[in-house]
A and B are shown apart, each in its own frame.
Chain A
Amino acid sequence: MPDQLSLSLQAFPTVDKDKESLKYLISRINQQKGSFRNVTEQSLEEEILAQDAGKPDDDQGVVETAEEVEDVKTKQEEVTKARDDIIKQIGQAYNESAQALDFVSLLLSKHAPAAAQTTLSPFLQQTLPLGSLGGEVVQEPQVSELEKRNQDMVSIGWRMQSLNGAADSLLKSAARLEEEMGRETTYWDQVLAVKEQGWSLSRLPREKHTLGVRYGFAEAYADFRDRGLAALRRDADGNISLDRGLRSSGDRALRVRILRQGKPIASSTKSTDGTPGDDSVTKEILKARNSIFDEELHHELHREARNLVNQGVRCIGESVLLPYETNNQIEIDLVSLEDEDLEVSTGNGTIANAIALSLRILLSHAHRQNLQRRSQIPPPLRETKTPRPIYALLKPVIEHIQHQSQVASLTTFLSTLHQTLSAAGLPFLFNPPTSPHNLSSFSSISAHPNKSMVESLIQSLTSPLHSVTTLHLPTTPTTAVIDIHTTLLPPHYSTTYTLTIHAPSPSTTLAALPTPTNLTTLLALTNHILHVLTLSNLQHTATTFPTWQAPSTLHGSTLSRTKEKSQSAEKASISLTGETLSLKWWRGAGGEWRACSWYADEGQGNDGGGGEKRGFDEVFKEEVDGR
C-alpha cells in the first residue's frame, strides 16, 4: 500500500526516447553519483538497503524535501532573473552595434554603395536613399593670434555695451519710477486735501479704477443728482484735475435782472470766488457745485413758471419773466460764467440779489423737504405714480413783491389823504402798515421746540403774508382796520383787503356799513376808504353843527338843513378824492353853488384857488352855516 501511495503522488513518467539513450543516462549518472569510479555494486546495494530501512523516518525526509524545494525555487528565480538580465544587456549591445553599423554603412554608401548595401539594415535602406550621408576630411582654418584677440575684444565690447545698455535702462526706469512716485504723491496729497475739506470721494460706477468726487446734491432731481459726480484725474504733472464728462456745459450761474422797458436797470452780482481754499481743484469743485445747483434751480423755475401764467409770469426762451412794479419786469436766466465781462452789473442790485438769494434758499429748503418726505414711512404701492411735486420757488418771491408793492401803494394813498385832510384841519391819522414778518420772534427759539431756527425762518418766507394798518377816522373814536393778506393760493390768487370798522355806537351810518368788507383790488379799497371817510366827514360835520343833518342813506354825500334862515345855505356836499377835498354849498333859491377845496400839496383853494387858509370846520362855520 505505501508503495502504491508514493507512486500515486508522483507524476506519471513520460517515456522519452532521448532520456533512454545512453548518452543521456551517462550524463545523468555522472550528475547523480559522480564519477563512475565511485559507483560500486556494494555501495548501490547499501543504498537500496538504506532506502528500504529508512521508511520509518519518512516524515523527516518529506520536511527536508519541502525545504529543498523552497531553496530550489528561489535559486531558480535568481537564475531566471540573471538570465533575463543578460539577455537584456545583450539585446542592448546588439542594438547599439547595429546602429553603429548602420551609421558607418550609410557613411560608406557614398563612396562604396555596393559594399555598404550589404551591411545596411533593411529599414534604413527603405527610408533613406543611399549616399545621403557623406564624410570629407577638412582642414582646421588658420586663425592668427591677432584675429583671435580682436575677436575676443569685440565680444567683450559687445558684452560691455549691452551691460551698459541694461544699466542705463534700469537707471532710466528708476528715474521714471521716481518721477512717477512724485506725481503719485502730488496726486494723492491733493486728493487727501480735497477729502479733508469734506468732499465725499468714491469710485466711479463706470470706471472702477478712477476716483470721483461727489459735489451734487443728494436730494436733487435724479437728472441733476447723477450729474453731481466728477472724476478726479491726474494730469501729466501729477496735478489733480476735475473731469466732469461730456454732459457738463461749462459753469453757469443764475442771473436776476430788473428790466425797464426791456432794458436792464439792475442785475444781481455773480457769486464771488472768494472761497476759503486757494486750491484750484477745490475752487473748481465749488464752481461745479454752484453751477449744477443753479442749473437745477433754473430747471425748477421753468417748471413752476409754466403754472404761474395767471400771475403774469412768462417763459420766453431760456428766461423767466416776472412782472415787477408797474412797468418793470424781473428777468431770471442762466448765464455762462465765461462771458462774465459782457455785462457789468449796473444800478442797485439789492432787489435782484435778494431775489437770487431767496430762490437759492428756497431750493435748498425744497431739498430738505425732499429728504424729510423720503424718510417718512413710504405710502403703499399703487398703480398710478405720484408726480414729482413742483417746488414753490417763485411763488413766495411773487407774493413778497406783490405784497410790498400793494402795501407801498396803500401807504402812499393814505399819506396823500392824510395831507389833504390835515390841510383841511380834519383829524385823520393812520398807523403805517405792519411788516409781514415778526423777526423779533426768532430770537426766542424756545417758542418752536420742534423746529429749528432755519425752518421757522423759511416758514416766514413761504407762509401767506399779512400786514395790518389802522385808520383813525375824523369821527373819533371810530377806527377802521385794514388787513392785507397776500397769497397765491386759491381762491384769491392775489392780495385781498379786509376793512373792519370799529364804531363806538351802532346807531351811526358808519356802523351800518357791512363789516368786515372783503376787497380784492387796491382801487376798490381806495374807493371804499374814500367812501368811509366821506361818510365820516359828514357825520363829523353833522355832530359839530347840529342844525345840519347827514344823509340817512349810505350813498349820499349831501348835508341838508331846514329852511329856517333863507339867507343861509340849505345844502352842502362834500366830495373827497385822494388828493382833493371839496366842499360845495348852495344858498337857497336864486343862490349859486359855491365851492372850496383843499389839496394835498397846496393847502386850500377857493373856487379858482388862492384865498384864506382856513380849516374845514372854520369855512363851514363862516361860509356855509353863516352864523
Chain B
Amino acid sequence: MHELLLFGAIPPSRHTQLLNILSGISSMQPRPIRSEKHLVFKPNRPPGSVGSLKVGGAQDVNVHKSQIQAHALGDLFYMQLVAEVEEGKEEEQWVLQFRDLPEVARQRGVTSRLVADVPVTSGDPMEFMKALNYSHVSTYTISGHRFTHHSASLVLYRVTLPPTAVRSDSTSGGLPQARLLDPSGTYILQASVRVQDGSKVETMTKGVNELLGLKETLKGVVELEIGDRLALDTRVR
C-alpha cells in the first residue's frame, strides 16, 4: 500500500477557525482523536547484520563484508505500534505500522511512501515485538481531529510526549505533566490518500490529483507542502 501526503502547520490561535473550515469542506463534524499512542520500536541487531554469514576469513574481512551486506540487504527500519487509548477502556486495537523512506518527489508534488498497517487481532503486541527482536525506544501521543474528504483523510493534530518522571531532588513541580513536543503549540495538518497498489499509475495519479486539488482548495487557509524526505526517514542509523 502507498501513502500520499501533504503537510501544513497551523498556529494554535487559528485552530478553531481551521476546524470550522475543514468541517465545511468535508461536510462532516470533526472526529476527535483523543489520544492515539505511538510506541516506537527499534531492531536490536545492527544494520546489515541480517543473514550475515560468518564463514572463515579474518575479522577485518568480516567487518568489510558486513558493510557490503548492509548495502546489499538494505536498511533496517523503525516500526511503531499504534492504538487509540482511552481511560477506562480495556480493549485496545493495536496496529503495527511500517513506514518506508519517502520516494524522491520529482514532479509529483506530494510525498509518497510505501506503508504497511497490520492490525493486531489477538495476543500481546509487546511480547510479539520482543519475539521479533525489536525493543521499545520511545513513546509519543497524538491528539486532535480527523476529517474525511472523499478519499483523502485530514488529520489536525499535536504530538504530546509522555510525562517525565518527577525528580525527587528537584524543587519544581508536583505532578508529572505531559508536555507538547512543540512548545509553541503549533498544530500539524496532514492530508493523506492511501493507494492500494503503488505500481498502478492511474490510481496513483488519481490520488495525487485529489491531494493537489485539496491543496488548491485550502490555498490561503493553510499552505499544504510536501514533507521533508529526510525528516520522514525511518531507517535505523
Q: Is A198 part of the binding interface, using a Cβ–Cβ cutoff of 8 Å?
A: no
Nearest CB in chain A: distance from B149 CB, A: 9
> Bound complex: CA of A383 vs CA of B31, how far in Å?
28
Kindly supply a per-residue 1/0 record for chain B positions 127-158, scoring 1 wherever the CB is within 8 Å of any chain A CB and 0 otherwise. 00000000000000000001010111100000
Q: Is A382 part of the binding interface, using a Cβ–Cβ cutoff of 8 Å?
A: yes
Q: A381, B196: Cβ atoms under 8 Å?
A: yes
**Which B residues from 206 to 230 make CB contacts under 8 A with A?**
206-207
Q: Is B89 part of the binding interface, using a Cβ–Cβ cutoff of 8 Å?
A: no
- For the side of the interface on A, what is the size category? 10 to 19
Q: Is B194 part of the binding interface, using a Cβ–Cβ cutoff of 8 Å?
A: yes
In chain B, what residue has the closest Cβ to A382?
B196
**Which A residues from 360 to 386 make CB contacts under 8 A with B?**
371, 374-383
Q: Is A201 part of the binding interface, using a Cβ–Cβ cutoff of 8 Å?
A: no
Q: B148, A375: Cβ atoms under 8 Å?
A: yes
Q: B151, A381: Cβ atoms under 8 Å?
A: yes
Known contacts A383-B200, A383-B202; A378/B153 CB under 8 A: yes
Q: B148, A371: Cβ atoms under 8 Å?
A: no
Instruction: Enumerate chain A residues within 8 angstroms of B152, measured Cβ to Cβ.
Output: 378
In chain A, what residue has the closest Cβ to B200?
A383
Q: Is A218 part of the binding interface, using a Cβ–Cβ cutoff of 8 Å?
A: yes
> Bound complex: CA of A370 vs CA of B235, how far in Å?
40
Instruction: Enumerate chain A residues within 8 angstroms of B202, measured Cβ to Cβ.
Output: 383
Number of inter-chain CB pairs below 8 Å = 40
> Bound complex: CA of A380 vs CA of B197, how far in Å?
9
In chain B, what residue has the closest Cβ to A376?
B148
Known contacts A383-B200, A383-B202, A383-B203; A378/B31 CB under 8 A: no
Q: Is B49 part of the binding interface, using a Cβ–Cβ cutoff of 8 Å?
A: no
> Bound complex: CA of A379 vs CA of B150, how far in Å?
10
In chain A, what residue has the closest Cβ to B195?
A381
> Bound complex: CA of A246 vs CA of B203, how far in Å?
37
Q: Is B166 part of the binding interface, using a Cβ–Cβ cutoff of 8 Å?
A: no
Instruction: Enumerate chain A residues within 8 angstroms of B29, measured Cβ to Cβ.
Output: 375
> Bound complex: CA of A377 vs CA of B155, how far in Å?
10
Contact of B31 among A218, A375, A379, A380 (CB under 8 A): A375
> Bound complex: CA of A380 vs CA of B28, how far in Å?
20
Q: Is B193 part of the binding interface, using a Cβ–Cβ cutoff of 8 Å?
A: yes
Nearest CB in chain A: distance from B82 CB, A: 13
Instruction: Enumerate chain A residues within 8 angstroms of B196, measured Cβ to Cβ.
Output: 380-382
Q: A378, B150: Cβ atoms under 8 Å?
A: yes
Nearest CB in chain B: distance from A215 CB, A: 16
Q: A381, B27: Cβ atoms under 8 Å?
A: no
Instruction: Enumerate chain A residues within 8 angstroms of B200, measured Cβ to Cβ.
Output: 383
Instruction: Enumerate chain A residues within 8 angstroms of B27, measured Cβ to Cβ.
Output: 218
Instruction: Enumerate chain A residues within 8 angstroms of B151, measured Cβ to Cβ.
Output: 378-379, 381
**Which A residues from 443 to 468 make CB contacts under 8 A with B?**
none
Q: B203, A378: Cβ atoms under 8 Å?
A: no
Q: B194, A380: Cβ atoms under 8 Å?
A: yes
Q: Is B1 part of the binding interface, using a Cβ–Cβ cutoff of 8 Å?
A: yes
Nearest CB in chain A: distance from B201 CB, A: 11
Instruction: Enumerate chain A residues within 8 angstroms of B150, measured Cβ to Cβ.
Output: 378
> Bound complex: CA of A380 vs CA of B192, how far in Å?
10
In chain A, what residue has the closest Cβ to B147?
A375
Known contacts A218-B27, A371-B28; A381/B148 CB under 8 A: no
Instruction: Enumerate chain B residues within 8 angstroms of A381, measured Cβ to Cβ.
Output: 151, 193-196, 203, 206-207
Q: Which residues of B contact A (CB under 8 A)?
A: 1, 27-29, 31, 146, 148, 150-153, 193-197, 200, 202-203, 206-207
Q: Which residues of A contact B (CB under 8 A)?
A: 218, 371, 374-383
For the complex of A and B, 7 pairs with smallest distance between CB atoms: A380-B194, A380-B196, A378-B151, A381-B195, A382-B196, A381-B203, A375-B28
